[in-house]
Structure 1
Amino acid sequence: MLKLFKEIRRAGDATVGYPFQPLEMPAGFRGKPEHNEKLCIACGACAIACPANAITMELNADQSLITWDISYGRCIFCGRCQEVCPLFAIKLTGEFELAVKNKGDLRESCSYAVVQCARCGRPYAPAKEVDYARRVLASVGGVAATDIEKLDLCLDCRRADDAEAFQKQARERKGA
């Protein structure tokens, strides 16, 4: 028996001392998604891609704000939100201990302003997303100012403008 204890002592521990010592997670571990509110443009790609519907986006009653919300209790840590985010606003961390006493503590949310159409006044997109599109178009160069101005219009008003322009071109072709 004494030989067995000596052998065990010589061999050392075969397991980690978790939960008494921190557990180091390997590279690529999919833990809690961390949302960076400053990088996010509220495009909704993460909410669409989330198979567990842990991420949701909803307009408030007067449609002036869109609220991004994640429920870590529903999250299955699949990483789809990180994969589809165009600006890398969501990153999976190594954090996996999410036990809380209050279910409400498993939620995180933030709100973003929504812009209204310059012509009809209907809300159509998050302001940060429109601003991002405007910056991208400006940085590309060679984009007409009228195309950048169309960002201030909702989809229905853009379609109406395009249909009107198409009809005008058709009339000019007939006349020529």
Structure 2
Amino acid sequence: MFKLFKTIAKAGESTTKYPFAPYETSDDFRGRPEYQPEQCIACAACTRACPANALTIETKPNDNTRCWQLNLARCIYCGRCEEVCPTGAIKLSQDFELAVANKADLYQKAVFKLAHCQVCETPFAPKKAVQYALDLLVQSGLEPEQLQIRSQQLNTCPECRRKANMLEGENLMKGNGIQQEVLNEGY
């Protein structure tokens, strides 16, 4: 019997002391998603990429808000949200302990204000997303007059942009470079 205890003492510990000591995870371990709302632009790329529908976005034009929500109970820790996020607002952490006493603690939520169209005043996109697009244009080195035109386009809703780009029949013919005589001949 003494020989057995001596062998065990030489072998060391055969199990981890978890939960009394922290459990060491590998560097590529995918744990709880950590969300930084100050970096998020509410573009909804993560919600489209999430296979478990753990991420949702709800736009409320009446309240002038877009609500982003993460349900950790549904998350499968696949990492798709981290891959598609253009600003790095979601990162998977090493944390895997998700036990909570209250179900509401499994939800993370952020609310974003919507930008209004400069033509019709309807809310159409998150303000942070519009500003992010403008910042990218500034970084690209766009000339000031082009930047002003793009800024006006970005601050206009898609419907008003579509209406502004629609051309009358006469302008359509001139804009395409098609001669009027050719069109009158039935081509």
TM-score by length of 1: 0.92
Matches within 5 A, 1:1-176: 1-60=1-60, 62-142=62-142, 144=146, 145-164=148-167, 168=171, 170-171=173-174, 173=177, 174=179
Look up the SS of the partner of 1:51 in the other structure.
coil
Q: How far has the Cα of 1:62 moved from its partner?
A: 1.1
Deviation sequence 1:111-161 (CA, Å, 0-9, x none): 000012111222210000001111111222335121221111111111122
Q: Does the 8 Å CA contact 1:54/1:72 hold for their aligned counterparts?
A: yes
Task: State whether residues 40 and 89 of structure 1, in contact with CA within 8 Å, keep that contact through their aligned partners in structure 2.
Answer: yes
Q: Which moved more, 1:128-137 or 1:52-61?
A: 52-61
Moved >4 Å (runs of 4+): 172-175
What do the CA deviations read for 1:78-137 (whole angstroms, capped 9, x no partner)?
100000001111000000001011111100101000012111222210000001111111
What is the identity, as a one-letter code, of the residue corresponding to 1:111? V
Secondary structure at 1:164 match in 2: coil
Q: Is contact 1:137–1:148 with CA below 8 Å preserved after alignment?
A: no
**CA distance, structure 2, for counterparts of residue 160 and residue 124 of structure 1:** 15
**Counterpart-to-counterpart distance in 2, 1:34 and 1:58:** 20
Q: Which moved more, 1:16-25 or 1:160-169?
A: 160-169
Q: Give the paired residue count.
A: 175
Structure 2 unaligned runs (5+)?
Answer: 181-187
* Alpha-carbon contact 1:63-1:123 (below 8 Å) kept: no
Contact 1:31 1:95 in 2 (8 A): yes
Q: Distance in 2 between matches of 1:33 and 1:166?
A: 53
Larger Rg over CA atoms: 2
Distance in 2 of aligned mates of 1:137 and 1:166: 33
Aligned-residue identity in percent: 42
Partner amino acid, structure 1, of 2:56: T
- Which runs of no fewer than 5 residues in structure 1 stay unpaired? none
> CA RMSD, aligned part only?
1.9
> AA paired with 2:110?
C
- Cα distance in 1 between the residues matched to 2:153 and 2:99: 47
Change over 3 Å in CA distance of 1:147–1:167 after alignment to 2: farther
